[in-house]
A and B are shown apart, each in its own frame.
Chain A
């Protein structure tokens, strides 16, 4: 295993459909599970943009009960480390899902999808949802936050105070694309979640803000395409990285990115990529650059 774990972003990979791809990752994160089965949003759900894509899936899935009885056993067998993403529309929904998963030692962590841009928001704050999840399980909880907030460090502090063990940064950001001929929105619901290369500077800023505000592990994600992209997220404070949109065009990107990450770190004088963690805020990076040029 590399010193910086590489995961998939929730919803961008199915470990049962593509077990070899899942095997190229250090951990697999499921698509978000909700208490009840959901058919999701009406089509059209996908639109390409110049610098990425929009999606509006709307949490289509089998519901927690079918997930636990039918999918979980097979996922546990197919993956080396299993993270389950859960979501919902109220604190009760998070309680229901987390209670159902609690105590299952096949699950390494629960990621709380507090920030799906394509469904109605829960009335509670992110911190209140984390409190509900925390009360329902002792499994490690990662809070996945939206980049679309003025002070994400404040949100990070709030969910950590509420009991989150780590942060997943960031979810997609809401975006809109129009059909050039008709000027109608390409997606049936209008706006969708924007991901891909354009999200990367936003993710860097969010991870950077949160890393100096809280002392918990951060899974950095948003537009990673290369090892250098991953190293930059590590440099602002990520302790792991996740791949999303890139998996659609390059399913085995993790293999390449892991090699590139090691090489890019070594080229900058770091023994391992982990040694580059948070150098941006520590200032260590500047010293290293100065040393290497001397």
Chain B
């Protein structure tokens, strides 16, 4: 545009981040999320993927995670490194919460996914 004045200085989020950023939550383009995660391993990042069923049946919305392919609909959409322990090849859903609360015996096999929360403690933010 002729005579336009540039009023915005493009800045990388990673450059703008303070040295000790504390809790980091982010959504946005994947390269940005990857760069953030490299800088802050405990960052909680909202990922995106095309999704068909939305409840774990179709395996359409997987993303690469700690060397595995996990479903965003079940294990996300907010992910954090080391934040899930669901077997990527196990289509079993976790037992419903009400059964667990009623004192039903713990299920064999992989535990339900750890759902990252903004209020996660420092212990949970610690990179594995």
Interface residues in chain A, defined as those with a beta carbon under 8 Å from any beta carbon in chain B: 11-14, 16-18, 31, 37-40, 42-48, 53, 55, 57, 60-63, 66, 70-71, 74, 247-248
Contacts and interface: CB of A to CB of B under 8 A. Distances in A.
A53 B47 CA distance: 21
Contacts, number: 94
24 contacts: A12-B57, A13-B53, A14-B56, A16-B92, A17-B56, A17-B91, A31-B91, A39-B89, A42-B64, A43-B63, A45-B60, A46-B50, A46-B51, A46-B60, A55-B60, A60-B59, A61-B91, A62-B89, A62-B90, A70-B92, A70-B108, A71-B92, A247-B53, A248-B58
B77 interface: no
Could you tell me the dominant secondary structure of chain A's interface residues? loop
A57 B109 CA distance: 24
B91 A16 contact: yes
B96 to A, nearest CB: 11
B14 interface: no
B78 interface: no
Contacts of A40: 59, 62, 69
A74 B108 CA distance: 13
Q: Which of B49, B56, B57 has the most chain A CB atoms inside 10 A of its CB?
A: B57
Contacts of B32: none
B88 A47 contact: no
Given A16-B93, A44-B50, A60 B69 contact: yes
A57 B60 contact: yes
B85 to A, nearest CB: 16
B68 interface: yes
Contacts of A60: 59, 62, 69, 88-89
B55 A18 contact: yes
A247 B69 CA distance: 23
Contacts of B50: 44-48
Nearest to B93: A17
B48 to A, nearest CB: 10
Contacts of A18: 55, 57
Given A39-B68, A44-B50, A14 B57 contact: yes
What are the 10 A-B residue pairs with the smallest beta carbon separation, nearest first? A14-B57, A46-B60, A46-B50, A37-B89, A248-B52, A60-B59, A57-B59, A17-B56, A62-B89, A39-B69
Nearest to A31: B91
Contacts of B51: 46
B111 to A, nearest CB: 14
Contacts of A63: 89
Contacts of A57: 58-60
Interface in B27-67: 49-64
A46 B61 CA distance: 7
A248 B53 contact: yes
A190 to B, nearest CB: 15
Contact of B58 (A44, A55, A71, A74): A55
A31 B108 CA distance: 22
Nearest to A186: B50
Contacts of A44: 49-50
A42 to B, nearest CB: 7
Contacts of B60: 45-46, 55, 57
